[in-house]
A and B are shown apart, each in its own frame.
Chain A
Amino acid sequence: MTAASAPSAPSAPEAAAASTPGVTGTPGSPGAPGAGGAPVSRWQSARFRRRVSATVIFVAMVVVAVVMFYPFWYMGDNSFRNQNQFDLQSGHSLAGWTQLFQTLPVVHELVSSTIVCAAAIAIILLVSTTAGFAFAKLRYRGSGAVFLLIIAAMMVPLQSIIIPEYVNLAKFNLMSSYTGAVLVYAALGAPFATFLMATYYRGISDELIEAAVMDGLSYERTFLRIALPLSLPAIATVTVLQFIQIWDDLLVGYLFLPTNDRTITVGLAVLSSGRTTGIPPLMAGSLVSAIPAIIVYLIFQRYLIRGLTLGMGK
């Protein structure tokens, strides 16, 4: 609400000031003092106007920042409390954190999260770089249609295929280890990653590829030695995007991972849905699960943003 009213605020002095240049601009203000005075006052009002609107915008942005950051502060603040301190909303202690480590196998679940993410991302990178290069530079009969079929799979919502997926993984006994969940994550991430890589490889000149081939490299080696190193920024984008997606996912991990190999996100959601754990340990757990993703975000923000906006083709 505060944000909504903000942009109209600076326009009020603006509208008032907008008429002023129209008056002073016309030669309707003659006289020696007026000629000297008008530009000064105009300059002053413009500067004043700009400063007022900058201040209003700044305040609005601070308000939005508080709204966006509040949950993080809330988690941190309330994780250092015991249930009684939480109810009273005063006093701090380490109770939330000790309780968390008593009720949740935090370290094991963090390891699980890491393994699942790393394995799924490895598969995604393998299939998306090779296929992306093929669809961009090594077209064959029907490759355009195959490419379209693959990126169209982006539109398949996980919920639509979750039941057959469960049946299939059970049939091949893939749910007693990380394998099933890793494969499903890899498949879900592959279409967009392939699209992203193909877009990137299209930007590499054909002449570069052909020159390498003329020099006696096979197309496969050209991909490994020339194209792959050039595509490191796109690889970073895919990695960051997928890391955050998989790290934060609940449904796949919840259904397809064995109970004692849960990821931190799944462990936390299950703990919370039991409705028996106090809020402070849950807030501590939330922070633990959020911190790796936040660190990755802070370091690779640029790539994340690029990946997001690339979805539009910009």
Chain B
Amino acid sequence: MSLTADPPVRRPRRGRLARRRRLAGFLLSIPAIVLVAALLWTPIVQAVRYSMTSWNGYTAPVWIGPSAYASAFGDPIVRRVLENNALLLLAVPFAIGIPLIIAALLHEHVRGWRFFRSVYFLPTAISWVVIGMVALQFFADKGILNQLLADVGLGSVHTDFLASEYSALAALAITFIWSMIGTNTIIFLTGMATLDPTLIEAARVDGLSRRQIFFRVELPLLTRFIQFSFVITVISAFSALFSLIFVMTGGGPGLGTTTLEFFVYQAGFAQGQFGTGALYGVILFVIMIIVGIGQLRLIRTEDGEGW
């Protein structure tokens, strides 16, 4: 820079420019700040306030205080709902493991792999509503799965999967796993593309089998990507399945498929308990923060790099 060549002339001008730059920066960031503050941060503060009241949305809210949380955790219905969330976590290893295997297959770059990649990723374009509607037909009493079972001679296993609590949750979880395949496969493919091919070649020359290369060389190098997909998967499981539950089961049978996010909707809008609904929402937010801190750390370690 020619800055050092003639500092006496440039300095005052730089100062004025820097001031103008800061002002422009402030002005340009105002719309985003207003939008996010008004429609994301204000409501979360309001939600915390609502959560400590008993309120039906019409009459004046009645203040309860933090004890609302204590009584919520003592409520067997809330525990049942949280149990569903916990059970849904059992789907996470599958939602990560299966895409990992698929990505490894695609990474072999056999004929037509680009086409297959497109097909695998296609479901990410369609809505949970549409996915739920087909899944409903898949798991229905006279549905595709029971037909398949009958075709292979397992007609005796015939079950109305959506009619009992745990099998309905399992059906939901399987649909969820299917839906995550596209997203997670792409994440892992991206990860595998960053691997140094000479490293793999070296391992091959050293006489490691393909399976050994995958587990001992590739997998450790993909840790960051697996962490990322873990966060995405858990966040989706806990906060993206509303539409799927709405279409597939409506939260039932009983409380069988009511997760925390669906419970917020039911309490707030089906039963008109705004206070209780907000409380469940705050619990969900806290869970998301705990999961999301990991994600924020990942983002921040990359902060400052271009894409």
Contacts and interface: CB of A to CB of B under 8 A. Distances in A.
Interface string A298-314: 10010011101111111
Contacts of A305: 121, 186, 190
Nearest to A61: B116
- Where chain A touches its partner, the secondary structure class is helix
A268 B134 CA distance: 13
B130 interface: yes
B128 A8 contact: no
Interface stretch (A26-34, A37-45, A92-100, A192-200): A192-200
Interface stretch (B68-76, B81-89, B152-160, B291-299): B291-299
A251 B35 CA distance: 20
B224 A312 contact: yes
A213 B19 CA distance: 13
Nearest to A4: B101
Given A219-B20, A247-B127, A61 B105 contact: yes
Given A61-B106, A157-B285, A191-B36, A135 B29 contact: yes
A283 B129 CA distance: 11
B102 A159 contact: no
Interface string A137-165: 11111010010011111111111111111
Nearest to A75: B134
Given A163-B50, A273-B250, A294-B122, A289 B28 contact: no
A176 interface: no
A150 B120 contact: no
Interface in B204-234: 207, 209-211, 214, 224-225, 228, 232
Contacts of B35: 123, 127, 183, 186-187, 190
Contacts of A138: 21-22, 24-25, 28
B255 interface: no
B200 interface: no
8 contacts: A131-B33, A150-B36, A153-B40, A160-B44, A162-B265, A248-B128, A286-B129, A308-B183
Given A61-B113, A153-B36, 6 more contacts: A60-B105, A151-B296, A164-B50, A293-B127, A297-B124, A312-B190
Interface of B: 17, 20-29, 31-33, 35-36, 38-44, 46-47, 50, 57, 98, 101-102, 104-106, 108, 110-113, 116, 118-134, 136-137, 144, 178, 181-183, 186-187, 190-191, 194, 207, 209-211, 214, 224-225, 228, 232, 235, 238-239, 242-243, 246-247, 250, 260-261, 264-265, 268-269, 274, 277-278, 280-282, 284-285, 288-289, 292, 295-296, 298-299, 301-307
